[in-house]
Structure 1
Amino acid sequence: MKPNFLREVIAITVGFIVAWYAGAMFNFFPFMADDLSIRAIGFTGLLLCIVIVICTVWIIKEIRQMKDNK
């Protein structure tokens, strides 16, 4: 396993936790609802979408690098 791979995985994980904590500090601001759990679920869904996009870009980058090395 490349050390760069591990660093990126840790960065994504820490970034997710920090973003979720920041959202909790501001009452999951972009999502307005009567129940806090509904706001938390919406905010978590948003963060998961962002993580999926980041991982997709990362996978595409790795595939392109593999093609360039051949």
Structure 2
Amino acid sequence: MPRYDYRCRACGSTFELSRPMAEATAPATCPDGHDDTVKLLSTVAVTGGAAAPPTSGGCCGGGCCG
């Protein structure tokens, strides 16, 4: 389930909510009960093992490097 970051305009705290994508635009209430919140623009963090090496085509695997 995606996580969305919010900031409360009333108290300034930031918080995270996990909710279905269908509810991505629904209003959020901060943990302190304030309704004046704004959804923050998030970056995606990818974690895990090393990337698989390219199968062909040099550094990018597609042949665009010559």
Name the TM-score, length of structure 1 as normaliser: 0.24
Judging by fraction of residues, say which structure has more strand: 2
Name the TM-score, length of structure 2 as normaliser: 0.25
